[in-house]
Amino acid sequence: MSVKFPKTVSIIAGGRIIDPASGIDAVGDVYLKGGVIDKIELKKKALKTTAEMDAERSIADARGLIVAPGFIDVHVHLREPGREDEETIESGARAAAAGGFTSVCCMPNTDPPIDDQETVQFVIDQARDAACRVYPIGAITQGQRGEFLTEIGDMVAAGAVGISEDGKSVASAEVQRRAMEYVRMFDIPVISHCEDAALANNGVMNEGTVSTLLGMSGQPGAAEEIMVARDIQLAAFTGARLHIAHVSTAGSVKLIKRGKRDGVRVTGEAAPHHFSLIDRMIAESFNSNLRVNPPLRTEKDRKAVIAALADGTLDCIATDHAPHSVEEKDNEFDKAPPGMVGLETALGLVGKVLVVGGFLGWPRAIELLSTNPAKIVKVPGGTLAEGAPADITVFNPDEEWTVAPEKFFSLSHNSPFAGWSLTGRVKMTICRGKVTHIDE
């Protein structure tokens, strides 16, 4: 079917509206007004004729498409300030909109790091006209050095929605404990990148059969799991809200499941590459775009992560979008920095691997991409309820498309999915009632 989207939208008509937060999964029309959702009318019998549509250009024909609350990515790297050649807040937000995201949380490993009120304010100012909402995550310690707490209250006042040491764990359990105690007064999550640095020992891939085959330095899954276990114990002890970033091993999944059962306030995210790729693929090509931290794990781990996304052990999907320049990535595997871009391939991977793979349906996928992340970082959106902000993603769940990184809106193209055929494509993204992306 041909889809015509107007530049401004007042009605999204005839789509399958899925809003897990309000329990809606039905065909209908979404009415927008003044940047919020005015009302939803279900089971309208038919859309207006084409002529009428032409006359009233603010109706989007969403027949055959899914209309969902805008996606929210709690884990991206926008590289500004510091590496504006790799990504800027503007380009990253544009890539986010193209991927169906209406909100992203940007991690603090910039240069300088987001570790004070001023830098948080800088990010928010830079994002003022961006194509999606951008929420900074502040560092846990000053300069990410693991020693002294940042002025967390000051950063929260300026708009930070969480804290994370990002890219590493706070090595000292004492410092981590104090951070978790301290944030209780703000009700923000402590987001934990779990990696015991000594045990990971700068390994460039997962330690296992494949690292043995390739003679590559490996980091064991235990390096992640030890920190997951530590931080869950600390969350139980301090009562803090803990969010585990990019869960990649079966062992971490088990620990989170147990933590939840014990009543610990812990949530977890998985990155699309961890449910789509495994370490074995490195042996086929030595493609440095497959280098990422935490590393691609085994098929057993991948299956465990998928099962955890389906059964509720993991709460959301976050891309860990990590742009890197060509000159940095086009190198020997060991020399290339870890990370891959992910905003523009996330939905297609969810569709291809999780939905077409038969592990979960679109309602659960939308919970993972929108409903739950909104709750974790407590930001507006994540629902199509009346009066909610008009942050909406319209996508074709069945459209197959081929990944061409050179067409990305991101300034960086470091994707291992180049040439992959994915299922599910974003057709239109609306943020604050404004159209931020149209697939043409």
**Of these residues, 320, 330, 334, 398, which one is catalytic?**
320
Task: Rule CB under 8 A: say whether 214 interacts with other proteins.
Answer: yes
Label residues 6-40 b or e (16+ Cβ within 10 Å = b). Answer: beebbbbbbbbbbbbbeebeeebbbbbeeebbeeb
Q: Which is nearer to other proteins, 31 or 333 (CB)?
A: 333
Q: Which is nearer to other proteins, 120 or 205 (CB)?
A: 205
- Pair of tokens at residue 192: 């934990």
- Shortest CB 325 distance to other proteins, Å: 12
Task: Rule CB under 8 A: say whether 208 interacts with other proteins.
Answer: yes
3-state helix, strand, coil in the chain (%, to 5): 35, 25, 40
Tell which one of 11, 21, 139, 216 touches other proteins (CB under 8 A): 216
Q: Which is nearer to other proteins, 219 or 319 (CB)?
A: 219
Cis peptide bond N-terminal to 294, omega within 30: yes
- Shortest CB 210 distance to other proteins, Å: 9
* 74 alpha carbon, distance to own chain's centre: 5
Answer yes or no: 311 catalytic: no
- Shortest CB 53 distance to other proteins, Å: 50
φ and ψ at residue 412, rounded to 5 degrees: -110, 150
- Shortest CB 87 distance to other proteins, Å: 22
Give the contact letters, 151-180, x = binds to other proteins (CB under 8 A), - = no: ------------------------------
Task: Rule CB under 8 A: say whether 213 interacts with other proteins.
Answer: yes
- Shortest CB 285 distance to other proteins, Å: 8
CA proximity to 233, closest of 254, 262, 197: 262
Q: Which of residues 237-266 bind other proteins (CB under 8 A)?
A: none
Strand partners, 19: 24
Task: Rule CB under 8 A: say whether 286 interacts with other proteins.
Answer: yes
CA proximity to 93, closest of 438, 431, 440: 431
Q: Which of residues 31-50 bind other proteins (CB under 8 A)?
A: none
φ and ψ at residue 36, rounded to 5 degrees: -125, 170
Q: Which is nearer to other proteins, 185 or 213 (CB)?
A: 213
Give the contact letters, 318-337, x = binds to other proteins (CB under 8 A), - = no: ---------x--xxxxxx--
Find all residues with CB under 8 Å of 307, minimum gap 6, and list them.
Answer: 253, 313, 359
- Pair of tokens at residue 120: 């948080």
Task: Rule CB under 8 A: say whether 414 interacts with other proteins.
Answer: no
CA proximity to 124, closest of 92, 100, 160: 160
Positions in the binding site for other proteins (CB under 8 A): 207-209, 211-218, 220, 285-286, 288, 327, 330-335
Residues known to be catalytic: 320
